[in-house]
Structure 1
Amino acid sequence: MARIPTLSFDRGTLIVHPPPKGKAWVDYATWDDRVEKFRIPAIYYRPFVEVLQAEQTNFVDNARAFETIELFASTDREPYPHQSEALAAWKQAGRRGVVVLPTAAGKTYLALLAMQATPRSTLIVVPTIDLMHQWYAQLLATFPHAEVGLLGGGSRDRTAILVATYDSAAIHAEALGNRFALLIFDECHHLPTDFNRVIAEYAIAPYRLGLSATPERTDGKHADLNTLIGKEVYRKTAEELAGKALANHEVVQIKVKLSEQERDRYNQLICDRNTFLKQSKISLGSLKGWQLFVQASARSAAGRRAMLAHREAKEIALGTDGKMRILSELLAQHYPERTLIFTADNATVYRISQEFLIPAITHQTPVKERHEVLTKFREGEYKALVASHVLNEGVDVPAAKVAIILSGTGSVREYVQRLGRVLRKGHGDKLALMYEVIAEDTSEERTSTRRRNAHRRDVALLRLPQPENPSEIVPIYGVGGNVTKRVADASVEWRSDNSEEVED
């Protein structure tokens, strides 16, 4: 009597032995001479199992170690329409895919809804320690009876619901790979790096959800999310949600003229830089061009002088005295509204903090001090707060009404993240304001224009049609030995039939 094939998990891969009947499964398998068995990448667990089931092949599934969990929410909160739509679209896609929503649009709550709809052991991956603890607190508040653990920052729990940083999850990817049925990737644009992608590749999880306000990457690797998580299934912009889930908002661009002395110096520096670029046949119109400039600046004295000229010109554009005057006027105009000020560098952060007596947060700010500053800002004791890049991602910033970007940003992601800091819907008819203050007729102005054009183009190209009548997922079953088993053991099984900025 022929033995029944057994599927087992082995450090981020699958081993099947003896070989099943049929041919379709061979597309996923490679013969391993070391163990004299067929090996399959863990990420192909779901399609491999579906192939066996489609061919009605009996097999024993010893690979999966995930489990059913009970999730009882402490509050009965009505989701926004876009959250319900996103959840339905994700279900319709087989509980795999990426959801793109602006900052403050409730991506965390959407993930909690997905967990309730898919009650299986779940791994949530986040980019920072701060964000890990925010998720942990939110999970405990929402599911007070659930066992929630942490992986990262000195913690190494083994729980059915685990929140981990990308770094820690990647380090332990081989051990985590078969323990979770649902993977949730917060800020999923961090996943497609050479280091982080193993979290998805070494996991057998049949259900995957990616969350981001701006999944697009300058290196083009966001295309890998289609394989690592699933295709984009839902997208809404801040403009589409304004007045509904988000506050109505207005973006105002203010152009500042350089002083005569600043203009003369700026023009001379740009001329010096461009002379070197022309001689070296380098164009800064692309990421590759910038990389060539950096390489050339390290090979000669002329290159170093050109790079220094470039950086000094940029400092003039970013830190012109005219911006400080505009900042003073805006702060006076909107006092006592809570205001966030963003700059491109820490030197300007400290200058503003000193001149305007405004608390500052940078990557150098100790955790306890940062927590105290944010708490006082939330409570209204501090009316304004200045930071560079540290508040873009991974920090729960209290709601503000006014944001002032004191230097144009070329990154669509950074722009959307900063806008999101003032879009939380407050009491009454809140109108959020974001000012972008840029130096006129400088590379900063061209960088800002390029970002706005790229943002409009990406939205036009990437918006997807949503399903009109999303249906529930049809359960399917696998067979192990003489005992019929569900692949993930409940009524939420998958279908078997459908299955950054360039310097200018």
Structure 2
Amino acid sequence: MAHKIPNFINVRDYQKDAISSWYNNNGKGLLEMATGTGKTITALSLSANLTKTVGKLAIIVVTPFTQLSLQWVEECRNFNLLPIKAFENKNKWSPKMEQYIDAYNENLLENICIVTTNATFSQKTFQSLLANLKNPALLIIDEAHYFGAKNLSKSLPEHINFRLALTATPERWMDEEGSERLLNYFGNKVVYKFGLDQAIKEGFLTRYYYYPHLVELTPDEAESYVELTLKIRKLSHQAKVDKEKKEIMNRLAIKRARIIYSAHNKMNVLRGIIEKNINIKKSLFYCGDGKVQSDVNIEVRQLDGVMSLLRNEFNIEAKRFTSSEPNKTRSKILTDFEKGEIDALVAIKCLDEGIDVPSTQTAYLISSTSNPKEFIQRRGRVLRKHKDKHHAIIHDFIVLPPNPYDFYEKEDEMFNIERAQLGKELQRFAEFSNLAINGPEADNVIWKVKQKYNLLDM
């Protein structure tokens, strides 16, 4: 069977433009496309066209997670490819991969396709087999921002002539070197952009309502936050010249950030939202790794606290969706969620990258970091089109830290750093509200925060 675009898939004009731009950059490039705009279809349509052009093609697809790799396997089959699932048990996939590569190199096969994960791709076994592959070959890296990391970037093969990177967030957060490494490998260029605003405007993604909810720290949390802040301030000048002091300061900053991620009152705010909402079906709840105080004053993981609240207090059929569940279990959970047999999924990070849950109606962002990649991915999960969905709803939990005006002098360098950090957080909220159906209403909440923290100039 020839690798080709199936009749039931209509390649959209913007996807055709993305493919043309990649060709014009000598078969290398990065596609910056919003989550939910069909990066997989674009990539496989590109590879089908490339097969026609060059006569034969080996395709290597790399994704960050097994669940996402399994989705790629299914999509590849639609394009008349028979992919090897090169992840999990090495004894099963490595002999088959070796045979496929040998057959391709001897011109016995016109197309081979290997789908793997970041972890397997970087292993010695996979790398040694890949080194034997002859061109023409196409490397497709999905959620490519991971490969800006120093260790992963070392596994990118120089001998493969065609290279395609896919991501909604090509710039790595606080890592200019990593972002540059990524671009360098993929032809020094983002060859095509298709942003969220354009995707919503043109009807490829669902419009949404955005509801930011302000969360106050408890007195004890606020006291700990201020105490850590003052310690960080004390170390800040020494940390510039003393590596050990810098490491101590970073540990204190992480400890302080956890206070925000795990703020106890998030559970109270969530309880209030659910009490006002009759329908919780088709909901995603994003939690953090931290712990919260339960109602009986026992520390539990935030995820477990949310699960308990949904199931025990509100009798909501909720399932956890984390990396701890086996692949088969996760696949069944997604199927049951799609059928409506499960009302809610409670996740940490496992749903961030590319996993399709298009029927999702509502997302609760209980914990998000300042990393733009995270909130862009999470917003994208709920904006995918679905026949039963007219709009989406996003509830965003905004924890208010103590005001830096309360414990810093305005001339203090750390005061400006803290103020700038708050400003960055507000940029995230503003981006959410700018594209929302109820933008002015959401902006009003953000304006109140700016007013409280004297950030009206940001």
RMSD: 3.2
Say whether 1:121 aligns with 2:58. yes
Aligned partners of 1:411 and 1:451 also within 8 Å: no
The aligned residue for residue 219 of structure 1 is 175
Aligned partners of 1:318 and 1:406 also within 8 Å: no
Residue correspondence of structure 1 range 47-446 to structure 2 within 5 A? 70-119=2-51, 120-143=57-80, 146-154=81-89, 155-156=93-94, 157-158=96-97, 159=100, 160-170=112-122, 171=124, 172-177=126-131, 178-180=133-135, 181-200=137-156, 202-217=157-172, 218-220=174-176, 221-230=178-187, 231-243=189-201, 244-258=203-217, 262=218, 264-281=219-236, 295-296=247-248, 310=256, 313-314=259-260, 317=263, 319-329=265-275, 332-333=277-278, 335-345=279-289, 347-357=301-311, 358-393=318-353, 395-427=355-387, 430-442=390-402
SS in 2 for 1:345: coil
SS in 2 for 1:371: helix
SS in 2 for 1:168: helix
Q: What is the CA–CA distance in structure 2 between the aligned matches of 1:254 and 1:77, rounded to whole Å?
A: 40
- Matched letter for residue 203 of structure 1: E
- Give the Å deviation of 1:362: 2.4
The aligned residue for residue 495 of structure 1 is none
- Identity level (%): 22
- Give the Å deviation of 1:385: 1.6
- Matched letter for residue 209 of structure 1: L
- Give the Å deviation of 1:275: 2.5
Aligned partners of 2:84 and 2:115 also within 8 Å: yes
Q: What is the CA–CA distance in structure 2 between the aligned matches of 1:190 and 1:82, rounded to whole Å?
A: 25
Aligned partners of 1:359 and 1:385 also within 8 Å: yes
- Give the Å deviation of 1:246: 1.0
- Matched letter for residue 20 of structure 2: A
- Matched letter for residue 344 of structure 1: G
Aligned partners of 1:127 and 1:394 also within 8 Å: no
- Give the Å deviation of 1:125: 1.4
Report the more deviating stretch, 341-350 or 376-385.
341-350
- Give the Å deviation of 1:448: 7.2
Distance 1:339 1:454, change over 3 A: closer
**1:203-227 CA deviation, whole Å, 9 max, x = no partner?**
3222111001112112221111222
Pick the aligned partner of 1:453 from 424, 427, 445: 427
Q: What is the CA–CA distance in structure 2 between the aligned matches of 1:325 and 1:317, rounded to whole Å?
A: 14
- Give the Å deviation of 1:378: 0.9
The aligned residue for residue 483 of structure 1 is none
- Give the Å deviation of 1:293: 6.8
Which structure: larger Rg?
1
- Give the Å deviation of 1:183: 1.1
Where does structure 1 lack aligned partners over 5 or more consecutive residues? 1-68, 458-504
- Give the Å deviation of 1:398: 4.7
- Matched letter for residue 138 of structure 1: E
Q: What is the CA–CA distance in structure 2 between the aligned matches of 1:449 and 1:149, rounded to whole Å?
A: 47
Distance 1:429 1:377, change over 3 A: closer
Q: What is the CA–CA distance in structure 1 between the aligned matches of 2:427 and 2:227, rounded to whole Å?
A: 29
The aligned residue for residue 463 of structure 1 is none
- Taking structure 1 as the reference length, the TM-score comes to 0.66
Instruction: Name the structure with the higher helix share.
Output: 2
- Matched letter for residue 91 of structure 1: Y
- Give the Å deviation of 1:329: 3.5
- Taking structure 2 as the reference length, the TM-score comes to 0.72
Aligned partners of 2:262 and 2:302 also within 8 Å: no
Aligned partners of 1:319 and 1:348 also within 8 Å: no
Distance 1:361 1:166, change over 3 A: closer
Q: What is the CA–CA distance in structure 1 between the aligned matches of 2:419 and 2:387, rounded to whole Å?
A: 35
Aligned partners of 1:405 and 1:435 also within 8 Å: yes
Report the more deviating stretch, 316-325 or 358-367.
316-325
SS in 1 for 2:236: coil
Distance 1:267 1:324, change over 3 A: same
Distance 1:97 1:368, change over 3 A: same
Distance 1:267 1:454, change over 3 A: closer
Distance 1:283 1:235, change over 3 A: farther
- Matched letter for residue 223 of structure 2: Q
Distance 1:437 1:449, change over 3 A: farther
**1:217-275 CA deviation, whole Å, 9 max, x = no partner?**
122211112221121011122121005211122332121344xxx1x213321222122
Q: What is the CA–CA distance in structure 2 between the aligned matches of 1:185 and 1:448, rounded to whole Å?
A: 34
Aligned partners of 2:216 and 2:265 also within 8 Å: no
Distance 1:270 1:441, change over 3 A: closer
- Give the Å deviation of 1:297: 6.4
- Matched letter for residue 29 of structure 2: G
